[in-house]
């Protein structure tokens, strides 16, 4: 469920501002309202540390190496500051050296074909009146220049099979030639510079490598910096006048007594009030039980959270997601792989975390669905195993011929089951919306009853059109019409609104309601993806099995085994992606839309001393 929040205002004297903030941070209950940004200095400190840590990752030791088994101690602030300045200086110098090395290497590459010479000697000749210029020219142009009495030129050794000339003065612009610009340093001097640069770079790398082993120290300092940034943000957010300072925020109602005790201990003045109905910034704190907590890793991964005034569908989300996961993966063999992976993780870590517990639930549901449909790595031969065949539900069997059914009958049964699950989930969504609106004395709950009637009609229409079920179509359309009328008449109702105003608002949105009714049919139909994606996964696994079957004798048996392993790994990955694309979508869009849930929640993040770095 979603925790009920209270608005709290905490007041103290200006001289005790920092003490109040420190006390609130120690208490760790107040979600500050409209928090302002921290000072530039506080923000820059964390940002600078984070950038440095990111760059030091390139110099971190290999954690698998036997030489790195000892973790160095966390440095004191003074020792860390000294090391940090050294690391930043090394990083800055290495950047400069990298630029120098790149520039010098390019210059060596440019002048190397011209051989080793002293640019300073050439410049000395220039001072004596010999304005030498060097050119690369074509063979014909070279002969032309040498025969011209007005041009003083000397042929030099060819450079990269191109004629070169030393000319006193410059060549006339009408002669095509490429002038060689004189470098500041000669080849030997540049190579010496390169050796020096590389040596200095090596020293920088050593410093950075020695620094990178203090990962724990950097993490500790980043955590301190982030907590300082949070404190600075809270300080900037607090308002004040000449004598008093105050800060406002939200506290879960269940934690009010703990807050009041803390306020008494710290001598704060405070006021508590109900949150305003117009307040759109109220954070959401979900209270999970042992079952619904399993869905929290998926919420975190997707970054979704119901709004404060929206419904909590965690239990239903978990139930339907487990079923969708099982149907989309569709193979009991794959479920066994997931189950074994979960057991191995538990054995290694010696604890059962929430994500691993969720994996256990999803694995078991997949194994059950695979047993019901008789699907084990897509192998038809599994039906020759009595115990595996005995667990199959004949109407759902992926190898129906073993149970006296045709493929068309089996597919119709799975499609009907998919539509039934979809209609059931959407009905549950409408019921949750009715329950919520009844509690708010919102007459628009009647429109949700209209949606429930419409969903039944659309479900029967889907069976009639897709599967060819024998259904009296006239009552179906009548039910859809009745549902549409209820939606139009009552969808505009709201607490505090008269019946006439609500009907007028509903009629004003009649066209939108008509489009939503058509969309409702599409939503019911969309659940056929559970059948389609599951069948696609089975077809892929069967294809790889058939490919390997042709390599089941002689030396090719090794190639066959490789084909089977790679094929099933690819299929598992594709099935997992399908779960994300289809299984999650059905919950987050179709189901949530029926509940009226838009996932607009802001996470409850109380002002507290963090023990780990926040993303």
438 and 485 in one domain?
A: yes
CA distance 307 to 275: 14
End-to-end CA distance of the chain: 26
445 and 300 in one domain?
A: no
- Beta-carbon contacts of residue 363 (< 8 Å; ≥ 6 apart): 335, 336, 338, 339, 341, 342
Evaluate whether residue 164 is within a structural domain.
Answer: yes
Query: If we measure between CA atoms, which residue out of 333, 312, 335, 315 comes closest to residue 325?
Result: 335
Tokens representing residue 560 in the block: 């066959």
Residue 418 exposed, middle or buried by CB count within 10 Å (0-12, 13-18, 19+): buried
Evaluate whether residue 608 is within a structural domain.
Answer: no
Query: If we measure between CA atoms, which residue out of 454, 463, 9 comes closest to residue 274?
Result: 9
Q: What is the CA radius of gyration of the chain?
A: 37
160 and 132 in one domain?
A: yes
Residue 350 exposed, middle or buried by CB count within 10 Å (0-12, 13-18, 19+): exposed
131 and 176 in one domain?
A: yes
Per-residue DSSP letter, 186: -
Number of domains in the chain: 4
Q: In what order do the strands lie in the sheet with 132-137?
A: 153-159, 162-168, 132-137, 178-180
CA distance 502 to 491: 8
Query: If we measure between CA atoms, which residue out of 207, 129, 141, 135 comes closest to residue 174?
Result: 141
- Beta-carbon contacts of residue 302 (< 8 Å; ≥ 6 apart): 584, 588
Domain closes at, from 185, 200, 232: 185
Per-residue DSSP letter, 39: P
580 and 471 in one domain?
A: no
pLDDT given at position 67 = 53
Helix %, strand %, coil % for the chain, to 5? 65, 10, 25
Evaluate whether residue 283 is within a structural domain.
Answer: no
Helical segments of 463-591, H only: 473-490, 499-508, 510-526, 529-549, 556-578, 584-585
Evaluate whether residue 397 is within a structural domain.
Answer: yes
380 and 302 in one domain?
A: yes
Query: If we measure between CA atoms, which residue out of 563, 538, 539, 326 comes closest to residue 421?
Result: 326
Tokens representing residue 223 in the block: 């955590």
Query: If we measure between CA atoms, which residue out of 134, 112, 237, 133 comes closest to residue 185?
Result: 112
Contact by Cβ (8 Å): 165, 154: yes
Backbone angles phi, psi at 392, to 5 degrees: -75, 140
Tokens representing residue 27 in the block: 């208490």
- Beta-carbon contacts of residue 552 (< 8 Å; ≥ 6 apart): 560
Query: If we measure between CA atoms, which residue out of 380, 369, 459, 356 comes closest to residue 416?
Result: 459
Domain closes at, from 527, 558, 586: 527
Domain closes at, from 469, 492, 527: 527
Instruction: Give the CATH number for residue 57.
Output: 3.30.70
Evaluate whether residue 211 is within a structural domain.
Answer: no
pLDDT given at position 150 = 87
- Beta-carbon contacts of residue 486 (< 8 Å; ≥ 6 apart): 446, 447, 449, 450, 453
Q: Is 8 helix (H, G, I), strand (E, B) or coil?
A: strand
Query: If we measure between CA atoms, which residue out of 301, 353, 361, 302 comes closest to residue 326?
Result: 361
537 and 466 in one domain?
A: no
Backbone angles phi, psi at 185, to 5 degrees: -130, 155
CA distance 437 to 433: 6
Q: Is 169 helix (H, G, I), strand (E, B) or coil?
A: coil
- Beta-carbon contacts of residue 82 (< 8 Å; ≥ 6 apart): none
401 and 537 in one domain?
A: yes
489 and 412 in one domain?
A: yes
162 and 238 in one domain?
A: no
302 and 270 in one domain?
A: no
| Model confidence, pTM | 0.81
Q: How many CA atoms lie within 13 A of 350 on its CB side?
A: 0
Evaluate whether residue 363 is within a structural domain.
Answer: yes
Taking each helix axis as running N to C, give the angle between helix 556-578 and helix 314-329, from 0 to 180 degrees, rounded to the nearest 10: 150
Contact by Cβ (8 Å): 593, 310: no
Tokens representing residue 314 in the block: 């965690």
Q: What is the block-wise mean pLDDT of the chain (615 residues), using blocks of 10 residues?
A: 94 94 95 93 93 91 62 89 94 95 93 88 88 91 88 88 90 89 91 95 94 92 94 94 93 95 93 92 93 92 91 93 95 95 94 94 96 94 93 94 92 94 95 91 92 95 92 93 94 88 90 91 93 92 88 79 92 93 90 91 93 81
- Beta-carbon contacts of residue 61 (< 8 Å; ≥ 6 apart): 67, 68, 209, 212, 213
Residue 615 exposed, middle or buried by CB count within 10 Å (0-12, 13-18, 19+): exposed
Evaluate whether residue 438 is within a structural domain.
Answer: yes
Which neighbouring-strand residues pair with 252?
A: 5
521 and 425 in one domain?
A: yes
Query: If we measure between CA atoms, which residue out of 529, 254, 267, 534 comes closest to residue 419?
Result: 529
Q: Measure CA 177 to chain center.
A: 57
Pairing status of strand 178-180 against strand 132-137: antiparallel
Tokens representing residue 19 in the block: 């003490």
Contact by Cβ (8 Å): 509, 492: yes
Q: Which domain holds residue 41?
A: 5-65+217-274
Question: DSSP string of 360-413?
Answer: HHHHHHHHHHHHHHT-STT-GGGGGSHHHHHT--GGG-SSGGGGT--HHHHHHH
Evaluate whether residue 30 is within a structural domain.
Answer: yes
Length reported for the chain:
615
């Amino acid at each position: 469920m979603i925790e009920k929040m209270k608005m709290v205002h905490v007041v103290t004297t200006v001289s005790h501002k920092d003490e109040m903030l420190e006390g609130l941070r120690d208490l760790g209950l107040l979600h500050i309202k409209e928090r302002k940004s921290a000072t530039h200095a506080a923000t820059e400190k964390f940002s600078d540390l984070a950038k440095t840590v990111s760059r030091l990752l390139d110099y971190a030791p290999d954690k698998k190496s036997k030489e790195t088994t000892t973790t160095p101690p966390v440095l004191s602030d003074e020792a860390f500051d000294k090391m940090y300045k050294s690391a930043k200086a090394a990083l800055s110098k290495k950047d400069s050296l990298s630029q120098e090395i790149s520039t010098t290497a390019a210059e060596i590459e440019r002048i190397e074909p011209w051989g080793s010479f002293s640019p300073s000697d050439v410049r000395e000749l220039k001072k004596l009146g010999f304005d030498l210029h060097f050119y690369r020219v074509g063979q014909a142009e070279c002969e032309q220049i040498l025969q011209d009495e007005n041009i003083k030129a000397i042929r030099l050794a060819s450079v990269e099979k191109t004629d070169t000339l030393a000319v006193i003065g410059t060549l006339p612009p009408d002669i095509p030639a490429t002038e060689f610009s004189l470098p500041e340093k000669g080849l030997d001097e540049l190579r010496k510079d390169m050796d020096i640069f590389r040596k200095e770079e090596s020293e920088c790398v050593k410093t950075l490598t020695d620094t990178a082993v203090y990962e724990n120290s950097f993490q500790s300092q980043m955590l301190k910096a982030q907590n300082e940034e949070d404190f600075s943000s809270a300080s900037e957010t607090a308002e004040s006048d000449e004598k008093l300072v105050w800060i406002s925020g939200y506290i879960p109602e269940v934690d009010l007594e703990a807050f009041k005790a803390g306020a008494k201990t710290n001598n704060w003045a405070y006021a508590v009030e109900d949150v305003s109905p117009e307040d759109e910034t109220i954070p959401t704190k979900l209270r999970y039980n042992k079952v619904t907590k399993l869905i929290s890793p998926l919420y975190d991964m997707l970054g979704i959270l119901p709004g404060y005034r929206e419904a909590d569908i965690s239990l239903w989300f978990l139930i339907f997601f487990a079923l969708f996961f099982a149907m989309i993966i569709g193979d009991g063999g794959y479920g066994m792989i997931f189950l074994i992976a979960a057991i191995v993780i538990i054995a290694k870590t010696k604890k059962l975390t929430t994500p691993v517990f969720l994996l256990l639930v999803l694995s078991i549901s997949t194994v059950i669905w695979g047993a019901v449909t008789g699907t084990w790595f897509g192998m038809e031969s599994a039906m020759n195993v009595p115990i595996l065949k005995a667990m199959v539900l004949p109407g759902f069997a992926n190898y129906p011929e073993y149970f006296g059914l045709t493929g068309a009958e089996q597919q119709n049964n799975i499609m009907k089951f998919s539509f039934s699950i979809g209609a059931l989930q959407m009905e549950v969504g409408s019921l949750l919306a009715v329950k919520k609106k009844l509690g708010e004395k919102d007459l628009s709950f009647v429109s949700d009853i209209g949606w429930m009637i419409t969903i039944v009609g659309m479900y029967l229409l889907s069976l009639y059109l897709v599967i060819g079920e024998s259904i009296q179509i006239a009552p179906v359309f009548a039910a859809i019409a009745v549902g549409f009328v209820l939606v139009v008449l009552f969808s505009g109702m709201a607490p505090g609104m008269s019946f006439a105003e609500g009907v007028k608002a509903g009629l004003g949105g009649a066209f939108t309601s008509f489009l939503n009714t058509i969309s409702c049919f599409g939503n019911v139909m969309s659940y056929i993806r559970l059948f389609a994606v599951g069948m696609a996964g089975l077809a892929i696994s069967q294809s790889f099995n058939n490919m390997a079957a042709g390599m089941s004798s002689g030396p090719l048996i090794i190639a066959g085994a490789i084909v089977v392993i790679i094929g099933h790994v690819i299929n598992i990955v594709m099935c997992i992606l399908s779960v994300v694309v289809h299984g999650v979508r059905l919950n987050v869009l179709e189901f949530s839309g029926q509940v009226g849930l838009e996932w607009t929640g802001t996470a409850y993040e109380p002002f507290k001393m963090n023990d780990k770095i926040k993303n």
